[in-house]
Amino acid sequence: MSPARVNGPVLPLSLPQRAVGYVPLAGKFFWVPAGCYADIHELADASAGEIAVRELPGEHLEACFVAHLNPGKIVGDCLLVASSANDVVGGLQALHGAAQPCAHWVLRHCRYRREIAFPGTSALLAAASGANYFHWLLESLPRLRLIEKAGFALNEIDRFFINEAQHPFHAQTFEALGMPAAKLVNGRKDRVFRCEHLLAPSLPADPMVFPSWALSFLRERFLPLAKQVRVNRIFISRRYAARRRLLNESEIETRLRQAGFKTVALEELSFREQVSLFASASIIVATHGAGLGNLVFTPPGAKVLELVSPTFINHCYQKLAGAMQLPYVEVVGSLTKQPRKRAEEDDFVISATNLEDAMARLAL
């Protein structure tokens, strides 16, 4: 098999990928990219009418689009979008934000992937970067707004592809939008989904950027579900977490309880209950975790105090709080052991003195 084509330099293939071309019928079970285009517009120009791109002017959506592939493919656990000829498009899914999408390692990865055909119209919602609550809420669900703005009725779409790991919040949010959860289809690492019609929306924005239209969409669609909750000072516990645990949580919880806080484990709440909790909150103290995506539902002026590990400082929730114009303070903890190989797994402690200082800065 010769190197795949690319608009410009040659797209090199790995040795296993090249071997697929020499083994009879192997191409039916091991997907190999035929080429790579830097963005959807270049692929559409080369597709002879198979792909249409609908731009979305207005509402600060100038950089957003919905690609309509007739047909199109979803590769693996929603990692890649490809044409029927297996030409991969940059700027979407795992290639979003890549400076050189055609040189990305994922294009050289060869594994068993059987192709499955889906009739009708399919839409891609999954965020390639993760299936957790934060990515679903802030990266996946706003793509429904893009699909609507492109002129497609959500109730006429046959299925919506999400990540392989499905959680209760996927079905709960879909049902809250008035759509049947039965339309959710999981991606698969060992599959290529060939869709008769595929709607592939762009991501709402670059990582850690929260456009106002996306935040407004979530608030407009979900805040009407909120019920009044009497608790307005909440401490989000990570007692069920397997990593990045607050080792002296009981000490911190005791101090916060004295200041009128109630401890809540979001794993015990439904999506509607989480919306209601944050919609009534005036002050949120939480260890860094996906549940802080619920800041999008907080009322104006709510205060945020985030507890973070010294080896894993990710400012996505600081930026989300900024986009929501919420007062925010970060408290950096310390380790009690040597750091792990993966920084996001490190457990840590928070100094009571540092907590008190942070509470004073927020005038708590």
Q: Is 212 helix (H, G, I), strand (E, B) or coil?
A: helix
Give residue 304's pLDDT band: very low, low, confident or very high (50, 70, 90): very high
> Average pLDDT, stretch 100-113?
87
Whether residue 2 is predicted with pLDDT greater than 50 in this model: the reply is no
Report the pLDDT value the prediction gives residue 5, as an integer from 0 to 100: 53
Report the pLDDT value the prediction gives residue 66, as an integer from 0 to 100: 95
> Average pLDDT, stretch 220-248?
91
Tens digits of residue pLDDT in 209-223: 999 999 999 999 999
Distance CA 134, CA 210 (A): 12
- Where do the DSSP E strands lie in the chain? 5-6, 35-37, 51-55, 65-69, 72-75, 80-83, 87-89, 114-124, 159-162, 184-186, 191-201, 233-236, 262-264, 283-287, 303-308, 328-332
Whether residue 319 is predicted with pLDDT greater than 50 in this model: the reply is yes
Give residue 343's pLDDT band: very low, low, confident or very high (50, 70, 90): confident
Residue 102 Cα distances to 35, 37, 38, 181, 192, angstroms: 8, 7, 7, 35, 19
Give residue 8's pLDDT band: very low, low, confident or very high (50, 70, 90): very low
Report the pLDDT value the prediction gives residue 55, as an integer from 0 to 100: 85
> Average pLDDT, stretch 111-128?
93
Q: Which of 24-28, 163-167, 173-177 has the lowest mean pLDDT?
A: 24-28
Whether residue 62 is predicted with pLDDT greater than 70 in this model: the reply is no
> Average pLDDT, stretch 56-82?
87
Quote the pTM value.
0.91
Q: Which domains does the chain show, CATH number per domain?
A: 5-205 (no CATH), 226-361 (3.40.50)
Report the pLDDT value the prediction gives residue 272, as an integer from 0 to 100: 96
Distance CA 227, CA 119 (A): 40
Whether residue 353 is predicted with pLDDT greater than 70 in this model: the reply is yes
Bond preceding residue 71 cis, omega within 30 of 0: yes
Whether residue 148 is predicted with pLDDT greater than 60 in this model: the reply is yes
> Average pLDDT, stretch 180-207?
94
List CB contacts of 41: < 8 A, sequence separation 6 or more. Answer: 53
Whether residue 58 is predicted with pLDDT greater than 90 in this model: the reply is no
Cα-Cα-Cα-Cα dihedral sign, residues 47, 91, 52, 159: positive
Whether residue 254 is predicted with pLDDT greater than 80 in this model: the reply is yes
Give residue 118's pLDDT band: very low, low, confident or very high (50, 70, 90): very high
pLDDT, the chain, mean: 90
Give residue 6's pLDDT band: very low, low, confident or very high (50, 70, 90): low
> Average pLDDT, stretch 228-248?
90
Tens digits of residue pLDDT in 27-53: 888 899 988 998 888 889 888 889 999
Whether residue 276 is predicted with pLDDT greater than 60 in this model: the reply is yes
